[in-house]
Amino acid sequence: MPRQLPTISDVAMLAGVSRATVSRVLNGSALVAERTRRRVQDAAASLRFKPNAQARLLAGGRSHTVILVHPATDRHAVTWYNMMLESGALRGCMRHGLQLEMNLVYPDPPHSYEHVLRPVDAMDCDGLILAPPFSDDPVLIALIQSRQMPVVCIAAGPATRPLTAGIGMDEHAAGFELGQYLLSLGHRRFAFLLGPRQHYAARERFDGFQRAVDAAGVSPSDVMTFPGRFDFDSGLEGFTAVRDSGFAPTVVICASDEMAAGALHGAHQARLRVPDDLSIVSFDDAPFAVLLSPPLTTIAQPVYAMAQKAADLIVAGIKGDHVPYELTKPRLVVRDSAGPVAR
Amino acid sequence: MPRQLPTISDVAMLAGVSRATVSRVLNGSALVAERTRRRVQDAAASLRFKPNAQARLLAGGRSHTVILVHPATDRHAVTWYNMMLESGALRGCMRHGLQLEMNLVYPDPPHSYEHVLRPVDAMDCDGLILAPPFSDDPVLIALIQSRQMPVVCIAAGPATRPLTAGIGMDEHAAGFELGQYLLSLGHRRFAFLLGPRQHYAARERFDGFQRAVDAAGVSPSDVMTFPGRFDFDSGLEGFTAVRDSGFAPTVVICASDEMAAGALHGAHQARLRVPDDLSIVSFDDAPFAVLLSPPLTTIAQPVYAMAQKAADLIVAGIKGDHVPYELTKPRLVVRDSAGPVAR
DNA sequence: CTGAAAGCGCTTACAG
DNA sequence: CTGAAAGCGCTTACAG
């Protein structure tokens, strides 16, 4: 009963060519005369032809599924990062008629390697999207590539970036930009709550910040760092540590928005006013950043778009195209959690 | 090069029947002898056979896409609700090999009807999932059903619930449970920041709360309501209105977590301690509820799971099965934003 | 550069 | 209750 959508046969007929030729044009094959290509494209456009993804993949003869490799956490928390990653990748895969499967693996190499490689060896997938920290691991990537399986990295470290297609933010530039902004506000005394030590992006965020601050001639004794793990609790703990240290910064820089939420909680408990008594800034621009009190000044990371792009890159990888790793520029989002320092 | 997954032919051969029979068993057709069915099922199980969704839908001959009808907002904000709805529906559709398309329409009937019905009339979809407030509109639903198109409602109102398959939370029970909890904490003076007037769930949340409070013999003069729109800003405005009113409740109940975030912001600005000076509670248990300061006591609504279920219901609808609307029980999540009232 | 033909894995009338 | 056959919309060797 559904209306018949135009098929490749309709296009072929209208263009006066065979279905094979239409298929070639659709798939960008080089073996088509320019005039023929044009004719087919016109015919397709005038019919508003959309290829049927199911049929396309069926005919291609593959498993039609890509696997997103996520870190599993102890608590089965759904983080906004994972959600947007999943949602973006799902959307991207959908556009290509691909199934997406999640593979939540606990990151403890070499044990974790088994879990990642099992579906690869079983040929249960056509490609892998690696989220951090897996995207940072050259050994894992080599293992996958030795099995001829396309891999795409999200937020890869510098060691793995040359190895695969992928997409990430320029974390160093992000840290640098945030540093410059704080400097412009008059801040000269900084506490930095770090992310996980093994996490490349976390290190880069700090290094970029450090560079900005060094360039401004800030004394090393005026920046103090504290350990953290990207989560709310470590933000709260870090904030407490800052207070206990007696260091008295004018601003606390958090390696993630979750940590900033924790730090903010600490500030409220200490009855400090943000940003009047103390500024708090962070990285990510997670969806909740605008809901905190006060709304967070932060550096935006386009997770959803990156994940969607990752799906495109996997498709390119399946086709055998070689696409280089791509770096997205950071974007500062100014809201209310950072203010000028009182003089 | 990928390993050949078992196909329906392998199962047929192992079971000693035709492929048509295997297909019938897979699709639950009644016209198969019990013994044959068992034989086929055993064969499928032993081969770990998974039907190829692409092929299945191709052969079925449909558009293979379901449309999720979302309300568009003026600001192009991505709300957690929309994200989880989209993500859940996407996941659900994927499992059935269905495409998902978003249709963001501004809810202003009857003008909005056109936007919803266009793809239906064009036969561009096999079914529709309606998010609120569209799921509340019996006229829209009648219009869709008159076109023989399967519809599934998420969080439908009582007027539309008998009309379609769907899934939602028992909002009245949610309000009642929250009311009882606050009562048990000793609260007797309540400010309720309402959701949008046209929004059924918003009304129910208040009505359920009202019932609990009435049953406890609380005087009507001890509950005061304030208008709101579910968002951060209206929570902040509502909080200010509460303060300006001089009503002095011991707890502010917000119709959504976003509103609670806004109210919390207001409380911080007023230098009030939550929950020591004032309790604040809400509905939804959005992902950010745990990141606010203090973490929110709230009633959980399983949006992701509901959206995933909606996809299952659409598939049932396409098959022609008649499934009744389903109501999920609410779940109170106790965190730190509500405390016992000082006596 | 292009076409005829086989095939991807399944479903669905059509017979029996 | 079951099977043989056609077909879903596309891709891909194979010829030419």
Asked if B242 and B191 count as a contact pair (C-beta separation under 8 A), the reply is yes
| Cβ of residue B19 lies below 7 Å from strand D | yes
Q: Kindly report the bases of strand D lying within 7 A of a protein C-beta atom.
A: 1-5, 7-13
- At residue B1, the pLDDT reads 36
- At residue B171, the pLDDT reads 95
Predicted confidence band of residue A56 (pLDDT cuts 50, 70, 90): confident
Query: Which of A4-8, A157-161, B84-88 has the lowest average pLDDT?
Result: A4-8
| Cβ of residue B215 lies below 7 Å from strand D | no
Which one of A5, A63, A291 has the shortest CB-CB distance to B5? A63
Interface touch A290/B264, C-beta < 8 Å: no
**Contacting residues of A for B261, CB less than 8 Å apart:** 291-293
| Percent of chain A clearing pLDDT 90 (strictly above) | 66
Report the distance separating Cα A332 and Cα A300, nearest Å.
Answer: 6
For the segment A233-245, what is each residue's pLDDT rounded down to a tens digit?
A: 999 999 999 999 9
Can you tell me which residue has its alpha carbon closest to the C1' of nucleotide C6? A59
Query: Which of A168-172, B108-112, B138-142 has the lowest average pLDDT?
Result: B108-112
Predicted confidence band of residue B129 (pLDDT cuts 50, 70, 90): very high
- At residue A206, the pLDDT reads 98
User: In this structure, what token pair is assigned to residue A285?
Assistant: 């621009």
The residue ranking higher by pLDDT, B196 or A60, is B196
User: Among all strands, which nt has the closest C1' to B61 (CA)?
Assistant: D8
Interface touch A123/B3, C-beta < 8 Å: yes
Window 187-206 of A: residues touching B by CB (8 A cutoff) are: none
Residue of A nearest to B267 (CA): A293
User: Residue A7 CA to D9 C1' — how many Å?
Assistant: 7
Q: Kindly report the bases of strand C lying within 7 A of a protein C-beta atom.
A: 1-5, 7-13
Predicted confidence band of residue A75 (pLDDT cuts 50, 70, 90): low
Which one of B5, B87, B126 has the shortest CB-CB distance to A90? B87
Asked if residue A122 has pLDDT above 80, the reply is: no
φ, ψ of residue B163 to 5 degrees: the values are: -80, -30
Can you tell me which residue has its alpha carbon closest to the C1' of nucleotide D8? B59
Which one of A87, A100, A265 has the shortest CB-CB distance to B86? A87
The length of chain A is 343
Window 158-187 of B: residues touching A by CB (8 A cutoff) are: none
- pTM of the model as a whole: 0.82
Under DSSP, the state recorded for B32 is S
Asked if residue A76 has pLDDT above 90, the reply is: no
| Percent of chain A clearing pLDDT 70 (strictly above) | 96
- At residue B343, the pLDDT reads 62
| Cβ of residue B82 lies below 7 Å from strand D | no
Report the distance separating Cα B307 and Cα B304, nearest Å.
Answer: 5
Window 10-29 of B: residues touching A by CB (8 A cutoff) are: none
What is the average per-residue pLDDT within B152-176?
A: 95
User: Among all strands, which nt has the closest C1' to B24 (CA)?
Assistant: C11
Distances from the Cα of A231 to the Cα of A79, A106, A194, A195, A256, angstroms: 10, 17, 11, 9, 8
- At residue A78, the pLDDT reads 67
Q: Is B6 exposed, middle or buried (0-12, 13-18, 19+ CB in 10 A)?
A: middle
User: Among all strands, which nt has the closest C1' to B12 (CA)?
Assistant: D3
Report the distance separating Cα B12 and Cα B8, nearest Å.
Answer: 6
| Percent of chain B clearing pLDDT 90 (strictly above) | 66
Short-list A133, A138, A131, A130, CA closest to A159: A138
Interface touch B293/A292, C-beta < 8 Å: yes
Distances from the Cα of A146 to the Cα of A141, A149, A151, A190, angstroms: 8, 8, 11, 45
User: Residue A269 CA to D12 C1' — how many Å?
Assistant: 67
Which amino acid, one-letter code, is at A181? Answer: Y
| Cβ of residue A58 lies below 7 Å from strand D | yes
- At residue A263, the pLDDT reads 98
Strands A326-328 and A297-300: unpaired
A320 touches B: beta carbon within 8 Å: no
- Distance in Å, alpha carbon of A313 to nearest chain B alpha carbon: 20
B90 touches A: beta carbon within 8 Å: yes
Q: Is A71 exposed, middle or buried (0-12, 13-18, 19+ CB in 10 A)?
A: middle
User: Among all strands, which nt has the closest C1' to A18 (CA)?
Assistant: C3
Distances from the Cα of A24 to the Cα of A21, A40, A94, angstroms: 5, 10, 22
Which amino acid, one-letter code, is at B152? Answer: V
Interface touch A268/B293, C-beta < 8 Å: yes
Torsion of CA A287, A291, A297, A302, to 10 degrees: 10
Predicted confidence band of residue B6 (pLDDT cuts 50, 70, 90): confident
Report the distance separating Cα B234 and Cα A276, nearest Å.
Answer: 24
**Omega within 30 of 0 (cis) for the link into A110:** yes
What is the average per-residue pLDDT within A255-281?
A: 97
User: In this structure, what token pair is assigned to residue B326?
Assistant: 């389903």
**CB-hemisphere CA count at 13 Å for B155?**
26
Predicted confidence band of residue A200 (pLDDT cuts 50, 70, 90): confident
Which amino acid, one-letter code, is at A225? Answer: T
Placement of tokens 């005039």 in the chain = A35
Asked if A183 and A210 count as a contact pair (C-beta separation under 8 A), the reply is no
- At residue B77, the pLDDT reads 59
Asked if residue B74 has pLDDT above 70, the reply is: no
**Contacting residues of B for A50, CB less than 8 Å apart:** none
- Distance in Å, alpha carbon of A208 to nearest chain B alpha carbon: 27
- 3-state SS class at B239: helix
The partner residues of B99 in beta bridges, in order of sequence, read B65
A33 touches B: beta carbon within 8 Å: no
Tell me the count of A-B CB pairs closer than 8 A.
118
For the segment A140-199, what is each residue's pLDDT rounded down to a tens digit?
A: 999 999 988 899 999 998 899 999 999 999 999 999 999 999 999 999 999 999 999 988
Mean pLDDT, all residues of chain A: 90
B31 touches A: beta carbon within 8 Å: no
The residue ranking higher by pLDDT, B203 or B90, is B203
**Contacting residues of A for B303, CB less than 8 Å apart:** none
Which amino acid, one-letter code, is at A34? Answer: E
What is the average per-residue pLDDT within B166-181?
A: 97
Which one of B54, B61, B83 has the shortest CB-CB distance to A83? B83
- At residue B318, the pLDDT reads 78
- At residue A2, the pLDDT reads 42
Report the distance separating Cα A116 and Cα A140, nearest Å.
Answer: 9
φ, ψ of residue B115 to 5 degrees: the values are: -65, -35
Predicted confidence band of residue B53 (pLDDT cuts 50, 70, 90): confident
